[in-house]
Each structure stands twice: as structure tokens, then as C-alpha cells.
Amino acid sequence: MEMKNQYSRRNFLKISGLLAAFVAIPTSVKAFYNDVKQYFIPKKNVSKLTISVNKKTHTLYADSRSTLLDLLREQLHLTGSKKGCDHGQCGACTVHIDGERALSCLTLAAMTEGKEITTIEGLGNGDELHPMQKAFVECDGFQCGYCTPGQIMSAVACVNEGHTGSVEEIKEYMSGNLCRCGAYNGIVESIQKVAAL
């Protein structure tokens, strides 16, 4: 009777081990197949895209409904551009497309084929900060920092566009970038500082 119990327990362990392997192998095969499918088998609504981001060319597959902001953050892992409202109302996602400021949450990634995109990560020169980044630090142009990448990208464009004639003009042309910390005085001061260089 004792022998029979041991025999049954051993068999039970063997069978459960086999069952676990049987379940685990197809799961990993399926995950591998999904990875391969994502990158190598074009699907409906997925298109191949070649874009230049911060002077680096990327060829990738993107959902044709994907925004540039999602592509930057989720596929290229460039998380400097922030998702504030995702509705074009806060400016936290501002990037430059061919040198012009644009809201990446309102831009379809598929429309940026062949364009040069610059994000906050590509604004400086290697380890050296862009003058506007330095000015934000020196003039206390931020507190929590969440809006700051978008503010800086807009501020650089504001200077390039020549809209720095007065405090009122700067405020007008920076009005698409909201700061919940209220660091507006420092932001205006930073822009004035860079405009005077």
C-alpha cells in the first residue's frame, strides 16, 4: 500500500512537470511569433516610416493612426516630450519639425515621413546645453519641470521667429504653452536673455 502511494505521487509529479512544460512552450513560442509579426509582417493600419529624429534616421513600422508624440515616447523611447493634455491645449509635447514648432500630440506620425524632427533631447550639442536651456536654469524658468521641454522648444522657436520685441509679444507667442507652476516670469526672462545674445 505504501509502495503504491509513492508510485502514484511520483507519477503525479512527472505528469504535472510535463503538463507545465507543455503549457509553457506554446506560450513562449506565441510571444516570439508576436514579436516577429510586429516587426516583420506588415499589418492592416501599419505602415513603414523613415524619419530623422535628432539627426538620426529611423526606419520603423508605425500604426497609421499613431501620433508623433506616441511614436517618440513609446517606440523611440524619447520621453522628453511630455503628454500633458493630448489634445493640443497645453504645449507640453512641442517639438520642431523642419525647424518649425509643432504639437506632436496633434501630428500623425505618418505625416512626418522624410522630415527632420528635433526634440528636447537633440537641442543641445552633446553634453553642452543649448543657450535657451542654460537661460531657463539661470532665470528659474521652471519648478516641477513637466512643461519645461515644451516651453524650451517653443521658446527657441519664438526667438527664431523674431517674436521677442516686448514682454507682451513674448507672452502672446508663448501663450500655447501652459505652466501649472506659474514659472512665466522666469520663462519670459529666459527668452529675453537669449534674444539679446
Residues found near ligand FES in the complex (CB under 6 A): 83-86, 88-93, 103, 105, 142-148, 179-181, 183
CB of 77 to ligand FES, least distance (A): 18
Q: Compute the distance between CA of residue 57 and CA of residue 9 in angstroms, rounded to an integer.
A: 60
Which C-beta is closer to ligand FES: that of 142 or that of 173? 142
Which C-beta is closer to ligand FES: that of 93 or that of 194? 93
Which C-beta is closer to ligand FES: that of 10 or that of 180? 180
CB of 183 to ligand FES, least distance (A): 5
Q: Compute the distance between CA of residue 166 and CA of residue 98 in angstroms, rounded to an integer.
A: 27
CB of 21 to ligand FES, least distance (A): 47
Q: Compute the distance between CA of residue 183 and CA of residue 5 in angstroms, rounded to an integer.
A: 75
Burial of 120 (0-12, 13-18, 19+ CB in 10 A): buried
Which C-beta is closer to ligand FES: that of 61 or that of 84? 84
CB of 72 to ligand FES, least distance (A): 12
DSSP strand pairing (46-53 vs 56-63): antiparallel
Q: Compute the distance between CA of residue 175 and CA of residue 170 in angstroms, rounded to an integer.
A: 8
